[in-house]
Structure 1
Amino acid sequence: MSKAQFAQRRDGRVAALQFLYAWSLNAPKNLTDDLRVFFENCEHPRDHYSFGEELIHGTIEHIEDIDGRIRTLAQNWEFDRIAKIDLAILRLAMFEMIYRKDIPPVVSINEAIDLSKQFSNADAKRFINGILDRLKDQIGRDARRADAG
């Protein structure tokens, strides 16, 4: 992957995180309209964020499964007490790890930790890493490899 592609994917993840965070606070009545308005206010044209938009749709589509896994993996943590930004980071990374076989799980974990450093507090990194590490051990695929589509 080129530096430009990597940077574009990073921008997409950041946009996805921001949208999912806002979505967790106030779910829109019309996702299509909300996404249009969201992307109109982003720095780049909407197609720059196509990867992020795929992540948004996928995460929301699989939210019940993902949240169920978070509840199971977040030992000694009440789901409702997880910071909303950390929950958005976890949801995004878990969607990638479970449903996006084209992305090595360790990449999703590293990106989640980077997002937590940028958007959350210092303690979040350990919490997020712990949950995603437990998930990595459960998903039954090589953590360092992408599976061919």
Structure 2
Amino acid sequence: MKRREAREKAFQFLFQIDINDEVDNHIVQDYLEEQNNDKFLKQLIEGVMDKKQEVDDTISRHLENWSLDRLASVERTALRLAAFEIEYLDDIPTNVSINEAVELANRYGDEKSGKFINGVLSKIVQK
């Protein structure tokens, strides 16, 4: 599976978890098995879930006039995915993480989602 596809699948899975606000480890493992245990997909899903509090704290520090729980699930999920990549995956160029998150936000969010994501992630990178 290509990284772009893995990111999109991770985004979709993490979005569902965000909406349902519950996660069972069996669900995660079943999903990963369905996706042939793709290494990058697993790294993204498990990484975001394991580091959720740290990632959320990073995002929250860079939001202006917003709180994380006020964001739509699309934006929150795209930010979590990209912030995790930026903070914890050194082998991925920052601009790739930002561009992929913006594309996901544009595809699944509204017309302003991509710009919002780009702005927040740019602030995280400038820290």
Q: Which residue number corresponds to residue 111 of structure 2?
A: 122
Q: Which residue number corresponds to residue 36 of structure 1?
A: 29
SS at match of 1:53: helix
Gaps of at least 5 residues in structure 1 are 1-6, 139-149
Contact 2:32–2:42 under 8 Å retained in 1: no
2:101 corresponds to 1:108: no
Contact 2:74–2:109 under 8 Å retained in 1: yes
TM-score of the pair, normalised by structure 2: 0.91
Q: Which of residues 63, 66, 80 is equivalent to 1:74?
A: 63
> How many percent of aligned residue pairs carry the same amino acid?
33
Q: Which residue number corresponds to residue 15 of structure 1?
A: 9
Q: Which one has the bigger helix percentage?
A: 2
Letter in 2 for 1:46: N
Contact 2:14–2:77 under 8 Å retained in 1: yes
From the CA coordinates, give the structure whose radius of gyration is larger. Answer: 1
Q: Which residue number corresponds to residue 56 of structure 1?
A: 45
Letter in 1 for 2:11: L
Aligned residues: 126
Q: CA RMSD, aligned part only?
A: 1.5
